[in-house]
Amino acid sequence: MKNRYLTLFACLFVFQLQAQVDRSVLPKPGPAPTIEFTDPATFTLENGLKVFVVPNDKLPRVSFYMILDRDPLFEGEKAGLTSFVGDLMMAGTESKTKDELDEAVDFIGASLSASSTSISASSLKKHQEKALELMTDVLYHPVFPQEELDKLKKQSLTNLAASKDDPDYLASVVSGALVYGTDHPYGEPLTEETVENVTVEDVKGYYNTFFKPNIAYLAIVGDIDEEEARNLVDKYFVSWEKADVPEFDYPTPTPPSENQVALHDRSSAVQSVINIAYPVEMHLPNDDYMATRVLNFILGEGFNSRLNGNLRETKGYTYGARSSFGSDKLIARFSANTSVRNAVTDSSVYEMLYEIRNLAENGITEEELEMAKANLSGRFGRSLENPNNIASFAINIARYGLSKDYYSSYLQRLDALTVEDINEVAKKYMMPENLYITVVGNGAEIKEGLSRFGEVRLYDETGKEVQEIELSDADKTASSVIDDYLAAIGGKESAENIKSAKVEMSAEVQGTKLDMVALHDMEGQRMIQKVLMMGNEASKTILKDGEATVSGMGQSQTLTDEQYEDLKMASLWLIPELYYETMGYTISLDGATEIEGQPAYKVVISNPTGGKVTNYYSMGSGLKLRSENQISGETTYKDYQEFEGVKIPVSMAIKSPMIPVPLNSKVNNIEINVSLSDQDFE
| CA distances (Å), origin 169, targets 181, 270, 278, 457, 463 | 17, 16, 17, 19, 11
> Are 430 and 526 within one domain?
no
Of 268, 287, 212, give the one whose Cα is nearest residue 50.
212
Q: What are phi and psi of 521, to 5 degrees?
A: -115, 95
Residues 6+ apart with CB under 8 A from 560: none
CA 554 remoteness from chain centre? 34
The CATH number that applies at residue 131 is 3.30.830.10
Whether 252 is in a domain gets the answer no
Positive or negative torsion for Cα 81, 653, 447, 477: positive
Whether 387 is in a domain gets the answer no
> Are 439 and 524 within one domain?
no
> Are 445 and 548 within one domain?
no
> Are 233 and 265 within one domain?
no
User: In the listed set 466, 489, 506, which residue is the last one of a domain according to the structure?
Assistant: 466
Give the number of other CB atoms < 10 A from CB of residue 636: 20
CA 244, 248, 253 angle in degrees (round to 5)? 165
Whether 24 is in a domain gets the answer no
> Are 310 and 340 within one domain?
yes
Q: Edge-to-edge strand order for the sheet containing 321-325?
A: 321-325, 332-341, 271-280, 436-441, 260-265, 456-459, 465-466
Whether 523 is in a domain gets the answer yes
CA 188 – CA 207 distance, rounded (Å): 21
Residue 272 contacts residue 339 (beta carbons within 8 Å)? yes
Beta strands 61-68 and 41-44 are: unpaired
CA 84 – CA 194 distance, rounded (Å): 13
> Are 293 and 409 within one domain?
yes
> Are 265 and 315 within one domain?
yes
Q: What is the largest CA-CA distance in the chain?
A: 111
Beta strands 271-280 and 436-441 are: antiparallel
Helix 345-362, helix 443-450: angle, nearest 10: 30
Q: Which domain holds residue 426?
A: 260-378+400-466
pLDDT computed for residue 6 by the predictor: 35
Written as one string, the DSSP assignment of 310-368 is: IIIIIS---S-EEEEE---SS-EEEEEEEEEEGGGHHHHHHHHHHHHHHHHHH---HHH
> Are 231 and 301 within one domain?
no
User: In the listed set 432, 466, 500, which residue is the last one of a domain according to the structure?
Assistant: 466
CA 73 – CA 65 distance, rounded (Å): 22
Number of domains in the chain: 3
pLDDT computed for residue 653 by the predictor: 86
Which residues make beta-bridge pairs with 521? 500, 526
Residue 318 contacts residue 308 (beta carbons within 8 Å)? no
For 42-87, write each residue's pLDDT tens digit.
999 999 999 999 998 888 999 999 999 999 999 999 999 999 999 9
Of 368, 14, 48, 335, give the one whose Cα is nearest residue 176.
335
pLDDT computed for residue 12 by the predictor: 36
- Which residue ranges of the chain lie beneath pLDDT 70? 1-37, 471-474, 510, 657-661
CA 338 – CA 167 distance, rounded (Å): 11
User: In the listed set 437, 466, 495, which residue is the last one of a domain according to the structure?
Assistant: 466
Residue 614 contacts residue 443 (beta carbons within 8 Å)? no
CA 113 – CA 639 distance, rounded (Å): 44
CA 150, 155, 161 angle in degrees (round to 5)? 125
* Long-range contacts of 353-358, Cβ-Cβ distance < 8 Å, separation of 24 or more: 353/276, 353/432, 353/435, 353/453, 354/310, 355/299, 355/300, 355/306, 355/307, 355/310, 356/276, 356/299, 356/430, 356/431, 356/432, 356/435, 357/430, 357/432, 358/306
Written as one string, the DSSP assignment of 2-26 is: HHHHHHHHHHHHHHHHHHTS-TTSP
pLDDT computed for residue 36 by the predictor: 66
CA 154 – CA 509 distance, rounded (Å): 11
> Are 439 and 564 within one domain?
no
Of 575, 567, 506, 577, give the one whose Cα is nearest residue 542.
567
Whether 339 is in a domain gets the answer yes
Residues 6+ apart with CB under 8 A from 410: 35, 290, 380
Whether 28 is in a domain gets the answer no
> Are 186 and 309 within one domain?
no
The CATH number that applies at residue 559 is 2.50.20
> Are 487 and 445 within one domain?
no
Whether 10 is in a domain gets the answer no
> Are 517 and 656 within one domain?
yes
CA 153 – CA 149 distance, rounded (Å): 6
Provide the H-helix boundaries in 141-213.
146-163, 167-180, 192-197, 200-210
CA 346 – CA 364 distance, rounded (Å): 26
> Tell me, what amino acid is at 279?
P
Whether 156 is in a domain gets the answer yes
Q: What are phi and psi of 171, to 5 degrees?
A: -65, -40
CA 411 – CA 377 distance, rounded (Å): 6
Residue 199 contacts residue 52 (beta carbons within 8 Å)? no
Q: Using CB atoms within 10 A of its CB, is residue 57 exposed (0-12), middle (13-18) or buried (19+)?
A: exposed
For 357-374, write each residue's pLDDT tens digit.
999 999 999 999 999 999
Of 376, 456, 453, 373, give the one whose Cα is nearest residue 418.
373
CA 615 – CA 486 distance, rounded (Å): 14
